Structure formats: structure tokens, C-alpha cells
Amino acid sequence: MINVLNVAEKPSVAKSVATILSRNQQHGMRVRDGRSRYNKIFEFNYVINGQPCHMLMTSVTGHLMELDFEDRFRKWHSCDPADLYHAPVRKYVPEDKIDIKRTLEEEARRCQWLILWLDCDREGENIAFEVMDVCGAANHNLTIWRARFSALIDREIHEAAQNLISPNQCFSDAVDARQEIDLRIGASFTRFQTMLLRDKFVIDSAQDDRNLVLSYGPCQFPTLGFIVERYWEIQSHEPEEFWTINCSHKSDEGIANFSWMRGHLFDYTSAVILYEMCVQEPTATVMKVHQQEKRKYPPHPLSTIELEKRASRYFRMSSELTMKVAEDLYQAGFISYPRTETDGFSSRTDLHTIVREQQEHPVWGSYAQRLLDPGTELWRNPGSGGHDDKAHPPIHPTKFSAGESAWSLDHHRVYELVVRHFLACVSQPAIGAETIVEIDIAGEQFSASGRVILVKNYLDVYRFESWGSSMIPTYVQGQRFLPTTLALDSGVTRPPPLLSEADLLSCMDKAGIGTDATMHDHIKKLLDRFYATKDTNTRFSPTNLGEALVMGYDDMGYELWKPNLRSMMEFDMKQVSMGCKRKAEVLDTCLQQMKACFLDARVNKVKLLEAMAIFFGRSDRYGGNDHHVAAEIVRPCGLCQESNMVLRRSRDGNFMVGCLGFPQCRNAIWLPGPVLEATVSTNICNCCTPGPVYLIQFKFRQLEIPPGFNVNHLGCIGGCDETLRQLIEICGTGSRVQARGHAPNPTPGNLQQNNIRRGTCIHCQQLGHASSNCPSQFSASRHAQFNGMRPQTGESSVSCGTCGAQCVLRTANTANNRGRKFYSCPSQGCNFFVWEDNSNNGTYGTNANVSNSASNPSWSRRGGRGRGTQGGGTFVSATGDPVSGRCYMCGDPSHFANTCPNRGSRW
């Protein structure tokens, strides 16, 4: 008889496997203590492929070994943090696991075989090699086998015991590579930023900031980056009003609400004109009636990431809690292994047996019976999401339960989700009938849709999803009717919401940050380190500390908080696990790259200090200056009336004056984009309050300001400076949208070039600016806007903002604007216009070639956003294409389509 040492990953798993393998034996199973009182030894007899075996089953508790630097490098001040990229490391058994190590050594000495029952993912394979190292050192003659299983049920365990395989060295090497990379990067950056920042600032999140550790993790920081970047998007969002035409029609059969197929317009004048056309000619004509069958497909089989996302979405459970509960259910044998990337079942899986086990459930048992009845035609072989980790199947139920007495509400929820998800993925899709109706009103197109659910199928069991139905009246092509309502409604653009936990997991999964087994740990670390907070709706916000750290690295111009670097590392480690790359090769490449980033970050550490100074006060313990430059005070803040406003410069070269009370006070004044240098002078403005308001000495980039403006200017930001006002209106300002997370770090020489189309200007034949931004044309349009007079005659005149030609004064002939005068450009293909009574106050119309969609908000009515425009306006055909004349029917710019003399010919 062969003595076999069996080692599982946890004591509970060891007990479950031993219980299954020893079942129905005459003498049963004997239990004794090992060196560690928590890791017991189970003895029983078993037959493996005809060979009688005496089995000794014990366990470890997760990783048996730790990776760390040698002792002389472990103290924080023992070496330069840069040395940690090549300092020697060792893998050893820590003191609290020495008893487990001794048990393994003692039992291995009297055994001939070693069978590893560790979890069948990369991490489990690495633990298996740790066990092999310890046992192999005690007994060099061991024959080593690997048992592969995905559920703690009889069928899986017996099959694994009879089909033993060899351990996978490549899987273990990939984990070793990740551990070493994370250790070296994390330790170097953590020591660097903690020693740099901890004693210099009073960090309000720390109870004892003397012992505070500002940790950095290669996965942790990109995860924080997702949260901060979304927060910056919300903070930089500027609400913009838009207008849309809504139409409804009520009949005996019900009501249909039609949506404008343009979506919405950002220009009020354009929307009003199109709305007037519809009101003048309101009869609707049905252009198309499209009826089709629609199918709503069930979800793919359940992977770890989907389990976490859906538990967060349906039950508001954190990913950490979800994995803890799923692990409990797995160890008790109710679900399969919960850490898997696979979302498709293999052809060998007996899906019918899994469904059959659920037939007795009081809630979904009847649905399981329907699935197995061929007459219902409800069964469907499940699809696949295309992911397979080659280790475990998708998560599925492995044992029936109507609810155990020891289960918490969360255990009931997770088990129900796993079962219902499995039943749904082997079911037919829901079927509905959808009708889409398109109508035309005065050239404008609208659409409405209605849906009727014919067969619910999987929706009968998957209560977490719905597919609403709505009825609309019956229409036929060519039918004409008068709308019940026809309204011009306004709305306001809204920022995106904060990232929910499901959103954050999706971002991490898409970018390859972490693994299915570690993503929830990275999120938990952000909360534990107080880099981010999570509200009751499971949405994340960065703390001041989290935002300051990301802002500091962002200002350096390095993407240490972005997912790109870690994604490449994860890809390389996957190549190691597949045997395509060697561990040493990946280690060398990744560590060289990250050491270069570390050295650059240390050179630019002043950026971290500046970012922290925005959020935190200076500590009394800090006496040095560390290259810190005191901010130049410009004036007291008139908004919070508590702090001073200081001159600052963002990483993209834009200057601003911001309140030191940030983030509680977000008062800020963005200065003209062409500012090259700015310093606060000792001169004080005599008229602006609250004072004192110190004047700023500006130096502008010559090529980026219109003719007539001096390169050097002593100006006031208090509101009295006409020169600054004009430059901001003409050239625009810097903004946080540009500065945070939306573009690579530009140099001063290419700041303007990033905002204009490259090519030769049609006006001055020069490179470096677009025709619509030509300085020679700005000069003419600026004088026309601010003076509104022709120099020679004194008559009112307007120059075209696009081509510079003198506009022609015409008279409108519309019902609402009859007799009102407007200027329009006489040039062919140029559709600039402005109402005469608006020209004196600078309210201009624009060229008709501007896009009208919501996806182009830069052409808006806000000043300083769209270069070369003074307001927004656009006229396009019903198909969305630009038209060459004011009237889209005959092209005459003296009237609009609703008063066109040729309009009667349409019908």
C-alpha cells in the first residue's frame, strides 16, 4: 500500500475532500492533530486507478511562503528606494506558518506520493509549488501529482482523484513574476511618497500621521485613477442648454410619443426656426412603418467579474463581500469554484443534471421542470462570452438547497443569483414584436416605437432583468394626421454619474487591471487607505488624499495612475502562464521600465508637493523648503471670504488664479490661453474690490494673439481689464477639462496647435492656425464687433466671421420676424448671418456648416469655448446635411422655407 500525502488550500477544503473520498468505508476516517492545531490530518484508505493507498489529508492556509527583500534592505532608511529594483529577494515561510511547514515535512518523510489539492487557478498553482518545495526538501523521492477540480461534490472529487496530472510550472512562474514586480514597484514608490509627504503636511484622514503609510500599488493606483478621472469629468462639466421638438398623437387606440430624429440642438435660434416651420405646417405624414421580431437574449454563463458586478447592481453588495459569501458557498459544496474567467461551458458538462437537481425548489423548481420537458422547447444550449481560463468552468450550482438555517441574507441572495443565472443561460431568449413609425412634419422627421412581449422565456426565471412593453396606435404608410401636441422643449446637459462598483469592475476588467481573484482586493485597499469613499449607492468618490496623489503624478506628465503600464504587465504575465515568454525576460523588461518612471518621478517630486499643498496644510514638523515655491497671492477670495486667491499654472501651460480654500471653495479665474509667463507685481488696482487686488505682469505668445495686442501687459483680474476680457473672448482660456486626464501633456509650442486643424490658412497662406482662427480676420471681426461702424462712412456694418467679407443687409419675411433686418454674407457657400438688432451688442449668428449634434458641444453659445465663433447657429436639412442657402426649398437667403413662394408645389 502506498502512503499518500494530500494537501489542500484550506482546512475546510481538506475536510470536505477527505469526507467525500472516505465515504462508505468500513473503518471510516481517523482525525488527528498536526503541529498546527488549525490544520488537522485526516487518515483513510482509498484506491487510485487500482492502486491501494493510505491517504493522509492535511492543508495549508493560503500561501505558505512570502516574498520579501533580504534583511538589510527591509528597513525604510536602509537604502535608496531606487535600489529596490535590483535588491536581492527571497521566498521564505513566515513565523506564523512554521508549524504548518513542520507538519508537511514530518508527513512527507513517510510518504511516497504527494497529491496537491490546491485551487486550480494560477495562485493555487503557485501555492502548490510552495508546498512542493517544503515537502521535496524533506523527501527527495516523492512522486508529485496534481488534482484538478472545480466543485466540492462527489462526482468532481472522485474524478479528480482518478485523473491526476502534473503541476503547471508556467502558471506558478507567472505568479512569481507578479509578486516580484508588485513588491519592487510598490515598496519603492510607497517609501518615496510616504517619506516625501507624510511629515510635510497635516493629512486629515490619518489619526496618527506620524505612522501614516501612503501606499502605492501597480494595480491599486490605476484603479484609483478611474475614480479620480470620472470625478474630474464631473467637476469640469459645464451645463449647456439645448432644445428639442417633441410631438405626440392621441387616438382611440392610445397615444404615441414621437422623438425628434435630430435629437436636439444647442442653438436656440435654429431650434425656434425649425419649430416655427413645423407649427406653420403641422400636418404629419407617415413615411415608414417598420415591424419586426425582437429577441432579448439571456446572459452568458457566470464568471467572477459578472458575479461581482451583478451582485453589486442587484443587491448593492460590495465585491469583497460577494467573494466572501461565494467562497463560503463553494466550501460548503453548493456552488462551483467562484474564481474563474471562463464564461462558456464545455461540451463535457452535464447541464441537464445540474438543472434536474433544482426541480424540487419551491420557487424556481417548476421552471426547471419546464426546461427539462422537450415539449416546451424552452431549452437552449448556452452561448459563450469567448473567455476561457483553462482552469475552471463558469460558476454554477452544484448542490440543491432550499436555504440553509445557518445562511445569512447575503448567502441566500448569492445562491439565488447563481441558480437563476444558470437556469437563464440554458433558456430560450425572450421574444417581442416591435413597431417603429417614422413621420414627417414640414421636412422634420420624428419616430416612435412600441413593443409587445410575446414570449418571456428566460425572463420568467431571471427576475433581475425586465423588458418593458408599450403599445402605440396603428399607423399605415402615407397616413396624415394633426399632432395632439407639438412643443419646443429645453433641457440641460448633465455630467456622467460617479462610478458605481459595477462600473469600476468593468473598467478594471476592460483595462486588464488585476485578476478575477484580486480585483475586489484592490478596491478594498483604496477604501482602507482612505484614497476613496463609497456611498450608499455604491458609487465612488476620491478623497482629498487620493485626488492629490493622482494630481501630482498627472502634473508630472507620467501615466502612473493610468491602466496602460499595468495592462502591458498583465499581458506579459499571461504570456508567461502560456509558456510564450520566460519569467526572467518579463521581470527584466517591466522593472527597467518602472525604474525609469521612478527616477523621473523623484526628479519631479515638486509636483507632488504642489498638489498636496492644494488640499492639505503644511505641518509644523517640516522646516525645509524642498524646492517648494510659495504661491503668489493675487487677492482675497470674494466667494468664500476666508482664503486668498493665488496665481498657479497647470501642467499644460495654462495659468489660473485659484482659491487656497480648494476644494471647499472652488473659486477660480482662468487666464487667456496665449499667456507665456505671468508673475504677480507689487502694483495694486485702484478700483477692484474686495482688495487689495495685485496686478499681474503678463507675457503673451506673439503668434497666438491677434494684431493690435502687445506681447507684454500689466493687467488686473478683478474685472476692470478690457484687454484681458477681449483676449479671453477671442482666444479662449485654459480649463480643467484640458488639464486633467483628457490629453497628453502638451508643450508650450503646441498648445494652440492641439485645438486647430493643421493646414494652410486660406486668408494669409500661413501655417499654424485654421482659416476660422486667422489673426488677420480676427482683427476685422473684432473691430466690427466692438465698434459696429464702418471707419469711412460711419454706417453700421458687420464683417463675416468666416471669410471677412462685408455682409449684406436684408429684411426677413417670416411670419414671426417679418420686417426684421439681418446681415448675411454674399459669398457663395458661406452662410454667416446676424440680426441687425443683435449686431451692436456682439450677439452673432454663425456659419451654417457647423454640426448640430449633441456630440459636438464645442460649437456652443458659451463664450471662449469655440475658437472663432461668437455664439452658435446652424441650419441643416432634414437628413442632417448642410444646405447652401437660407431657404432649403429654393435657396433664397431672403426668406425661410415656411414662407417660400414655391412651397405649395411640395404637395
* More confident call, 64 vs 848: 64
Q: Quick one: pLDDT at residue 744?
A: 36
Query: Is the pLDDT confidence value at 443 over 80?
Result: yes
Query: Is the pLDDT confidence value at 791 over 60?
Result: no
Among 102-116, 209-223, 766-780, 817-831, the range scoring the smallest mean pLDDT is 766-780
Cis omega before residue 663 (within 30°)? yes
Residue given cell 494684431 in the structure block: 707
| Non-local CB neighbours of 193 within 8 Å, separated by 6+ positions | 214, 216, 549, 608
Query: Is the pLDDT confidence value at 898 over 50?
Result: no
* Contact assessment for residue 441 and residue 487, using Cβ atoms and an 8 Å cutoff: no
Q: Which residues are catalytic?
A: 337
* More confident call, 6 vs 777: 6
d(CA 527, CA 205): 11
Average pLDDT of the chain?
81
Directed axis angle between helix 544-556 and helix 605-615, to 10°? 150
Query: Is the pLDDT confidence value at 519 over 50?
Result: yes
Among 107-121, 661-675, 708-722, 778-792, the range scoring the smallest mean pLDDT is 778-792
Q: Quick one: pLDDT at residue 851?
A: 32
**By C-alpha distance, which of 570, 581, 465 is closest to 516?**
570
Confidence bin at 814 (pLDDT 50/70/90): low
* Mean pLDDT computed over 792-807: 60
Q: Quick one: pLDDT at residue 845?
A: 43
Query: Is the pLDDT confidence value at 218 over 80?
Result: yes
* Mean pLDDT computed over 761-766: 41
Query: Is the pLDDT confidence value at 737 over 50?
Result: no
* Contact assessment for residue 567 and residue 512, using Cβ atoms and an 8 Å cutoff: yes
Degrees, nearest 5: CA angle 209-602-228: 65
Rg of the chain over all Cα atoms, to the nearest angstrom: 35
Confidence bin at 819 (pLDDT 50/70/90): low
* Mean pLDDT computed over 886-905: 49
Q: Quick one: pLDDT at residue 48?
A: 94
Of all residues in the chain, what percent carry a pLDDT higher than 90? 52
Q: What is the dihedral of CA 298, 304, 306, 311, to 10 degrees?
A: 110
* Mean pLDDT computed over 669-683: 86
Residue-wise pLDDT for 284-330, tens only, equals: 999 999 999 999 999 999 999 999 999 999 999 999 999 999 999 99
Q: Quick one: pLDDT at residue 857?
A: 32
Confidence bin at 648 (pLDDT 50/70/90): confident
What stretches of 216-372 show up as alpha helix (H) in DSSP?
220-236, 268-280, 304-315, 319-331, 351-356, 365-372
* Contact assessment for residue 388 and residue 342, using Cβ atoms and an 8 Å cutoff: yes
Q: Quick one: pLDDT at residue 901?
A: 57
Query: Is the pLDDT confidence value at 779 over 50?
Result: no
Residue-wise pLDDT for 93-104, tens only, equals: 999 999 999 999
Q: How many CA atoms lie within 13 A of 666 on its CB side?
A: 5
* More confident call, 896 vs 807: 807
pTM tops 0.75: no
Confidence bin at 566 (pLDDT 50/70/90): confident
* More confident call, 656 vs 412: 412
Residue 905 DSSP class: G
* Mean pLDDT computed over 863-886: 32
Q: SS in 3 state form for 599-624? A: HHHHHCHHHHHHHHHHHCEECCCCCC
CA distances from 688 to 476, 648, 717 (A): 68, 21, 9
Confidence bin at 907 (pLDDT 50/70/90): very low
Q: Exposed, middle or buried by CB within 10 Å (0-12, 13-18, 19+), for 496? A: exposed
Q: Quick one: pLDDT at residue 884?
A: 36
* More confident call, 437 vs 653: 437
Residue given cell 432649403 in the structure block: 888
Q: Quick one: pLDDT at residue 770?
A: 41
CA 185 remoteness from chain centre: 24
**By C-alpha distance, which of 169, 164, 165, 157 is closest to 122?**
169
Phi, psi (degrees; rounded to nearest 5) at 877: -75, 175
Q: Quick one: pLDDT at residue 358?
A: 94
The count of other CB atoms within 10 Å of the CB of residue 630 is 8
Q: Exposed, middle or buried by CB within 10 Å (0-12, 13-18, 19+), for 173? A: buried
